[in-house]
Homo-oligomer: A and B are copies of this chain.
Amino acid sequence: MPKETFFNLTENKKSKLIEAAEQEFARAPLHEASIANIIKTAGIPRGSFYQYFSDKEDLYFFLLDSKLQTSKKNFIEALEKHHGDIFEAFIEIYNDFLITMPDEEEHNFIKNALLFATYRVENTFADIFDSTSDREHFNRLMELIDHKPFKDKEEVISILQMIGAIAFHNSIVKLTNKLSDEVAIKQFRIQMDFIKYGVYTEKSK
């Protein structure tokens, strides 16, 4: 988390810094991005940076977290819309996430996040449907999810994790193999169908 000092900054200074950081993290993945570039673009001295953040990661995960707040809300909305159907909700946010990326800078930011995703990045993404950090959000999820197909809460969590991992992995494959949006979504649907109806079951073709 950024330090108190950062939040005390004027809106103008704050957004200038954030814009500079987004630009840099869109240009290069975390490990290649440099504080030097960020402060140059933002026009602040080196010492100030460390007044606001403990290091590069601090700023980075603050940004990534902010960006994913939207996905978190979207997931809730998708669940409401699809009457608690996990699969349809996931397909919807997968769609949202990969396809509705209007801003090129935003797109590159996320691309770098995914392609160079360490466990911390993965965990940040997982927060969208995970219990660990935002308890309230998680409880809301659990209320909305249709539990009928599942034995117990553990099964629900297990499925959420599994689908999350698949969605995450598919995003990476889409980016590395430069798949079209249509192909990517189709692939994901096929995989969701496997989980819904199983490999050893007659599929409704």
Q: Which residues of A contact B (CB under 8 A)?
A: 29, 31, 114-119, 122-123, 149-151, 155, 158-159, 161-162, 164-166, 168-170, 172-173, 175-176, 187, 190-191, 194-201, 203
Contacts and interface: CB of A to CB of B under 8 A. Distances in A.
Contacts of A170: 165
Nearest to A198: B198
A106 to B, nearest CB: 19
Contact of A161 (B149, B169, B175): B169
A119 B158 contact: no
Contacts of A175: 119
Given A159-B194, A162-B166, A162-B194, 9 more contacts: A31-B31, A116-B118, A165-B165, A165-B168, A169-B169, A196-B198, A196-B200, A197-B198, A197-B200
Contacts of A172: 119, 122
Contacts of A166: 162, 165-166
B149 A200 contact: yes
A99 B158 CA distance: 21
Given A194-B159, A201-B198, A169 B165 contact: yes
B115 A159 contact: no
A173 B162 CA distance: 11
Contacts of A118: 29, 115-118
A199 B195 contact: yes
A28 to B, nearest CB: 13
